[in-house]
Amino acid sequence: MPVAELIPLGTASAIPTRERHLSAFALRRDGRLLLFDCGEGTQYRLRDAGLSRAKLDAIFLTHFHGDHLYGLFGLLSTLALLERTAPLTIVSPTGLCEMLRALPGLAPDAHPFELRFVELNEGFGHAVVYETDAYTVEARPLDHRVFAAGYRYQEKARPGKIDGEGARAAGIREGWQYETLRRGEPVTLADGRVVRPEGLVGPARPGASFAYVLDTRPCRGGEKLAAGVDLLVHEATFTEAHRDRAYETGHSTAQQAATVARKAAAKRLLLTHFSSRYGELAPLVEEARGVFPHAEAAAELRAYTLTEAVSAAPSMPA
């Protein structure tokens, strides 16, 4: 079973710092990539992380503020220069296609590869925006100063485990027979007996999941995206000392992010989108852990396995 890993490429809000770059997260699964947001310099961060741009299948943009968007134009230009031919899906609020047409050399029909746009209209409630045989990505509206959407990556359920000893006792011998039972279908043996999966195959196992909730005040859409996820990535632009500022600018505090994680029964929380006023992230992490113990600050270029076991005592940032 392929293992999905999430790699933070940028964790700054609005202004990059010496240690933090602008918003972008890459999801790597089975050799392929999904990209969530594309702040300025994202193509360099893909290179720094050792991730191949050629493996990129889809990009998901939360909104049209520059720290989440401006890296897209350079990335598309580079993909064209590399003579990419595979289609690329871009999910975003409505208006991106027209934006690209206004920029020299970036009109959708000017590329050697097909751009497939999935646009979200303001006022939408929920949409499945991308799907493969292995997983889906859904979107819900968030609560920012401008129209914004969050995303949830959800792998499809895996077949339940089979009781090997019980199956053999029932007469199952061939590999295809085991696979048939795993699919929930009965197997007819050579002697005419029918072996049914009930009692031999356990319940389906849920696939790995993560939610990407940036930029937003705490909201119902974020909670729904985060419901029961293995890993929640939630913005934590400020501490509670600047709670009013967070509300005014359409952002969340670390405590509020942790409250969303707790309400949603997420397993783990990665904080991101940190204001440049915070040279050290320990105050934000400490604040979040007061509400949700399994919180930590996203470390750029570190690979986080979605189904990683929850540790008893997460380490504090240096």
Q: What is the mean pLDDT of residues 276-294?
A: 96
The secondary structure element, H or E, covering residue 215 is: none
Amino acid (1-letter code) at residue 153: Y
Q: Which domain holds residue 93?
A: 4-158+208-305
Confidence of residue 115 (pLDDT cuts 50, 70, 90): very high
11-15, 198-202, 217-221, 242-246: which range is least confident on average? 198-202
* pLDDT the model gives residue 313: 47
Instruction: Flag whether pLDDT at 310 surpasses 80.
Output: no
Q: Are residues 181 and 246 in the same domain?
A: no
Q: What is the DSSP letter of 162?
A: B
CA atoms within 13 A on the CB side of 298: 35
Q: Is residue 310 part of a domain?
A: no
* pLDDT the model gives residue 76: 95
Q: Are residues 72 and 196 in the same domain?
A: no
* pLDDT the model gives residue 131: 97
Q: Is residue 318 part of a domain?
A: no
Q: Are residues 171 and 22 in the same domain?
A: no
Backbone angles phi and psi of 286, in degrees to 5: -60, -40
Q: What is the mean pLDDT of residues 65-85?
A: 95
CA torsion, ordered 290, 141, 88, 273, to nearest 10 deg: -30
Amino acid (1-letter code) at residue 257: A
Q: What is the mean pLDDT of residues 115-124?
A: 95
Kindly report the average pLDDT of the chain as a whole number: 92
Q: Are residues 171 and 78 in the same domain?
A: no
Q: What is the mean pLDDT of residues 131-140?
A: 96
CA 208 vs CA 156, 231, 265: distances in Å:
8, 9, 15
* pLDDT the model gives residue 181: 76
Q: Are residues 10 and 128 in the same domain?
A: yes
Confidence of residue 183 (pLDDT cuts 50, 70, 90): confident
Please state the pTM of the whole predicted model.
0.88
Q: Are residues 153 and 169 in the same domain?
A: no
* pLDDT the model gives residue 172: 76
Number of domains in the chain: 2
Taking a C-beta distance cutoff of 8 angstroms, is the pair 25, 7 a contact? yes
Q: Is residue 22 part of a domain?
A: yes
* pLDDT the model gives residue 317: 52
Q: With pLDDT > 90 as the criterion, what percentage of the chain qualifies?
A: 76
Q: Are residues 96 and 234 in the same domain?
A: yes
Q: Is residue 142 part of a domain?
A: yes
More confident residue, 281 or 186: 281
* pLDDT the model gives residue 96: 94
Q: Is residue 312 part of a domain?
A: no
Q: Is residue 8 part of a domain?
A: yes
Taking a C-beta distance cutoff of 8 angstroms, is the pair 176, 157 a contact? no
Q: Is residue 315 part of a domain?
A: no
Q: Which positions are annotated as active-site residues?
A: 67
Instruction: Flag whether pLDDT at 117 surpasses 90.
Output: yes
Q: Are residues 74 and 146 in the same domain?
A: yes
d(CA 292, CA 261): 7
Q: What is the mean pLDDT of residues 108-121?
A: 91
* pLDDT the model gives residue 318: 45
d(CA 242, CA 312): 30
Structure confidence by residue, pLDDT tens digits, 146-175: 999 999 999 998 777 887 887 787 887 888
d(CA 293, CA 244): 24
Cα torsion angle, 178, 183, 186, 189, sign: negative
* pLDDT the model gives residue 198: 82
Pick from 186, 229, 226: nearest CA to 207: 229
Pick from 31, 46, 29, 235: nearest CA to 136: 29
Amino acid (1-letter code) at residue 60: F
Q: With pLDDT > 70 as the criterion, what percentage of the chain qualifies?
A: 97
Q: Are residues 149 and 164 in the same domain?
A: no
Structure confidence by residue, pLDDT tens digits, 18-74: 999 999 999 999 999 999 999 999 999 999 999 999 999 999 999 999 999 999 999
Q: What is the CATH number of the domain that holds 256?
A: 3.60.15.10
Q: Are residues 122 and 183 in the same domain?
A: no
Q: Are residues 80 and 185 in the same domain?
A: no
Q: Is residue 135 part of a domain?
A: yes
Range list of H helices, the chain: 42-48, 66-69, 71-81, 96-101, 164-169, 175-182, 220-226, 243-249, 254-264, 282-289
Q: What is the DSSP letter of 201?
A: B
Q: Interior CA angle at 26 toward 214 and 134, to 5°?
A: 100
Instruction: Flag whether pLDDT at 179 surpasses 90.
Output: no
Q: List beta partners, residue 33.
A: 28, 56
Q: Are residues 285 and 164 in the same domain?
A: no
Amino acid (1-letter code) at residue 246: A
